Chain A
Amino acid sequence: MAQITLDKLAHSYLPNPQTDADFALKEIDHVWQDGGAYALLGPSGCGKTTLLNIISGLLIPSKGHILFGNEDVTNLQPEERNIAQVFQFPVVYDTMSVRENLAFPLVNRGVERGEIEKRVAEMIEILDMSDKADRKAQGLTADEKQKISLGRGLVRYDVNAILFDEPLTVIDPHMKWQLRTKLKDLHRQLGHTMIYVTHDQTEALTFADKVVVMYEGEVVQIGTPEELFDQPAHTFVGYFIGSPGMNVLPAEVSGKKAKIGTQTVSLPKGYKGLNGQTEIGIRPEFVSFTSGKGGLPVEVSSVEDIGRFKIVRASLEGQQINAVLGEGETIPANPKIVFDSAKINVYERSHLVKGEA
């Protein structure tokens, strides 16, 4: 187990990268705590698998270094790094039994026989697979196979980190939840550093202590689920996280006022010297309807009832805006909306700007 340091890491699949756009992974400089549960979240092609393969050693980065603890492992092969990886499609050795599968990495490392038996028995216990221990791995279900590939990593006590590459993709929905809970339990129980790649925000937010959001090869924010929700550092994080995502409205911001078209909204903090494109972001959860004075008039275009609450799609000064309507709430005749002003974020060129009190 070790803390993972990404030291000015960048990667390009081209032999001679010139511009920023040539990099599949733009420079990242960060330290990941020992024993943490991290999720790499982002849409397809954002570089998250590239980053994972650099950590596991399947790829050697074009720039920078990666350290496990104090050891530079940048040029080490995967088998020398002492990590475990669970892939998108479950990898099991078909002709071996469950028990033999779990023993395989230990046998390859020449661990003593008695020790292997002890650890494998323990692992079968942990994975709740005692009834299938001596079955061939071939006939098992996808989620059981995925548990075995996880077990092959965990059975080596001393792995530096366990990497997951969208491990729930081929799992049935009802088993996903169970397997995710199991992962969380194992993390709590065994305390390995876990890195989990996914494009599913629910998976990322429920699994991880810290979520690393990636966008076009760049890490745009690393934070707890709460931070990502309340203070997205980038407009992309705003609308990627949350369902529906954050409303991002072009606005002119000066001092404690933001002008959206002809309307003015007051901000909790003052902003000075902004230039370039400015936007304000407000989550649909913090947009509410009012019939009183001072709201912003909107035109409601549709209402989607999704059970516990409703999503109202409306337009404000020609801008699309979403609001969440709680149970029992109704839309007034002349709909006007108000923002919970403490929850408004201001963005300059898509990046969050901290205001002054």
Chain B
Amino acid sequence: MEKPFNNKAWLLVIPVFILVAISAIIPIMTVVNYSVQDSFGNNQFFWAGTEWFQQVLESERFHNALMRNILFSLIILAIEIPLGIAIALTMPKKGIWVPVCLVLMALPLLIPWNVVGTIWQVFGRSDIGLLGYTLHNMGVDYNYATNVFDAWITIIVMDVWHWTSLVVLLCYAGLVSIPEAYYQAARIDGASRWAVFRYIQLPKLKGVLIIAFLLRFMDSFMIYTEPFVLTGGGPGNSTTFMSIDLVKLAIGQFDLGPAAAMSLVYQLIIITICYVFFTVMKNTGVDKSATGGEPK
């Protein structure tokens, strides 16, 4: 049968095209427009070329914020991924405790970002917060508003509390889907608990772990609300991540040009990293599809 060829199908793409244009392309082009101009009052704009980009890339402020972002994401991943796997491994596979565990795990995920920030802000205060008060009375000098180390610890613990559940739930789903026969075969082969994890569970979790890794990386790299609510970027600039810095620049100082240039660079970094992850994911997919095997 001949396949009919005509170009009418393009019509079907038009709604998506319009939506994407309104929601993404046009705003981005506005940003691009700002990034190459200098703005003054009375809506006067002057051509600035690549000046703002050079300024952003050379600015120590941007470098520092980027470094803070990378450090934060690395710490978050290093804690949440292993912890998530460990918790998923200890969760029951059947019985009445399964729904209880799942609901408990899902709870933090349901809380909005700014509420999480507020909860921990209060929780950590030494006058009325349970944590802060307890630590204070134990003689620990804990103050997230003045001590850089305390501020970081608080934000990290807060993120771990908020998001480890996501990793747990993904890993749990991966673990439950492993057929019982694998465990039985491993017992018969005399495999140790570690060998079962290393050669059965971990390889089977590869797929969900990549997704968990990707989600947690993107989310933590764009973190804004929690540190904003908790510390407002301080003490000093110690918890000023790129997103916070960007908002300060754009709305606080109203430097539209540099802010636009910075947001484009920020976006480029995220796109690059996502591309790398996407490639990794695609390659894993190829390995997986070969599992079915082809007839000889």
Residues of A within 8 A of B (CB): 56, 58, 77-79, 83-85, 87-89, 91, 93-96, 104-105, 108-109, 138-142, 144-145, 149, 152-153, 172
Query: Which single residue of chain A is at the shortest CB-CB distance from B204?
Result: A94
A108 near B195 with CB under 8 A, answer: yes
Kindly supply a per-residue 1/0 record for chain B positions 180-191, scoring 1 wherever the CB is within 8 Å of any chain A CB and 0 otherwise: 011011011111
Q: Is B2 an interface residue (CB 8 A)?
A: no
- Sample of 28 A–B contacts (CB below 8 Å): A56-B188, A58-B187, A77-B187, A79-B188, A79-B189, A85-B185, A85-B188, A87-B184, A87-B185, A93-B199, A95-B203, A96-B199, A104-B195, A105-B189, A108-B190, A108-B191, A108-B192, A108-B195, A138-B287, A139-B290, A139-B291, A139-B293, A141-B293, A141-B295, A144-B293, A145-B293, A152-B185, A172-B295
Query: Which of the residues B179, B181, B191, B293 comes within 8 Å of A104, measured between beta carbons?
Result: B191
Q: With A94-B203, A138-B291, A141-B293 known to touch, is A89 a contact of B179 (CB < 8 Å)?
A: yes
4 cross-chain pairs, A with B, having the tightest CB-CB distances, nearest first = A141-B293, A108-B190, A87-B181, A91-B185
Name 20 extra pairs, CB < 8 A, besides A83-B188, A85-B184, A96-B199: A58-B184, A58-B187, A78-B184, A78-B187, A79-B187, A79-B189, A84-B188, A87-B181, A93-B200, A94-B203, A95-B199, A104-B191, A104-B195, A109-B190, A138-B287, A140-B293, A141-B295, A144-B293, A149-B185, A152-B189
List chain B residues, Cβ under 8 A from A144: 293
Give bound CA distance, A65 to B116, whole Å: 59
Give bound CA distance, A84 to B162, whole Å: 45
Give bound CA distance, A56 to B79, whole Å: 40
Q: Is B58 an interface residue (CB 8 A)?
A: no
List chain A residues, Cβ under 8 A from B290: 138-139
Q: How far is the CB of A80 from chain B (nearest CB, A)?
A: 9
Q: Is B294 an interface residue (CB 8 A)?
A: yes
Query: Which single residue of chain B is at the shortest CB-CB distance from A83?
Result: B188
Query: Which single residue of chain B is at the shortest CB-CB distance from A88?
Result: B181
List chain B residues, Cβ under 8 A from A91: 181-182, 185
Give bound CA distance, A256 to B294, whole Å: 61
Q: With A93-B199, A172-B295 known to touch, is A104 a contact of B188 (CB < 8 Å)?
A: no
List chain B residues, Cβ under 8 A from A77: 187
Q: How far is the CB of A103 from chain B (nearest CB, A)?
A: 10
Q: How far is the CB of B49 from chain A (nearest CB, A)?
A: 52
List chain A residues, Cβ under 8 A from B185: 85, 87, 91, 149, 152
Q: Is B296 an interface residue (CB 8 A)?
A: yes
Give bound CA distance, A152 to B182, whole Å: 13
List chain B residues, Cβ under 8 A from A94: 203-204, 291
B293 near A142 with CB under 8 A, answer: yes
Q: How far is the CB of A286 from chain B (nearest CB, A)?
A: 41
B188 near A78 with CB under 8 A, answer: yes
Query: Which single residue of chain A is at the shortest CB-CB distance from B296?
Result: A141
List chain A residues, Cβ under 8 A from B287: 138-139
List chain B residues, Cβ under 8 A from A141: 293-296
A89 near B291 with CB under 8 A, answer: no
Query: Which single residue of chain B is at the shortest CB-CB distance from A93?
Result: B199
Q: How far is the CB of B228 from chain A (nearest CB, A)?
A: 43
List chain B residues, Cβ under 8 A from A149: 185
Kindly supply a per-residue 1/0 record for chain B positions 193-236, scoring 1 wherever the CB is within 8 Å of any chain A CB and 0 otherwise: 00100011001100000000000000000000000000000000
Give bound CA distance, A78 to B181, whole Å: 13
Give bound CA distance, A89 to B182, whole Å: 9
Query: Which single residue of chain B is at the shortest CB-CB distance from A87?
Result: B181
Give bound CA distance, A78 to B179, whole Å: 18
Give bound CA distance, A139 to B293, whole Å: 6
List chain A residues, Cβ under 8 A from B182: 91
Q: How far is the CB of A146 from chain B (nearest CB, A)?
A: 11
Within 8 A of A (CB), among B42-64: none
Q: How far is the CB of B192 from chain A (nearest CB, A)?
A: 7
Give bound CA distance, A144 to B182, whole Å: 17
Query: Which single residue of chain B is at the shortest CB-CB distance from A159?
Result: B188
Give bound CA distance, A88 to B181, whole Å: 8
Query: Which single residue of chain A is at the shortest CB-CB distance from B191?
Result: A108
List chain A residues, Cβ under 8 A from B295: 141, 172
Give bound CA distance, A83 to B203, whole Å: 26
Q: How far is the CB of A323 from chain B (nearest CB, A)?
A: 40
Q: With A91-B181, A142-B293 known to touch, is A105 a contact of B190 (CB < 8 Å)?
A: yes
Q: How far is the CB of B82 from chain A (nearest CB, A)?
A: 19
Give bound CA distance, A96 to B187, whole Å: 17
Q: How far is the CB of B9 from chain A (nearest CB, A)?
A: 37
Give bound CA distance, A89 to B295, whole Å: 17
Give bound CA distance, A77 to B190, whole Å: 10
B184, B188, B296 pick with most chain A CB within 10 angstroms: B188
Give bound CA distance, A79 to B204, whole Å: 23
List chain A residues, Cβ under 8 A from B192: 108
Q: How far is the CB of A39 from chain B (nearest CB, A)?
A: 20
Q: How far is the CB of B37 from chain A (nearest CB, A)?
A: 54
Give bound CA distance, A172 to B296, whole Å: 11
List chain B residues, Cβ under 8 A from A152: 185, 189
Give bound CA distance, A138 to B293, whole Å: 9
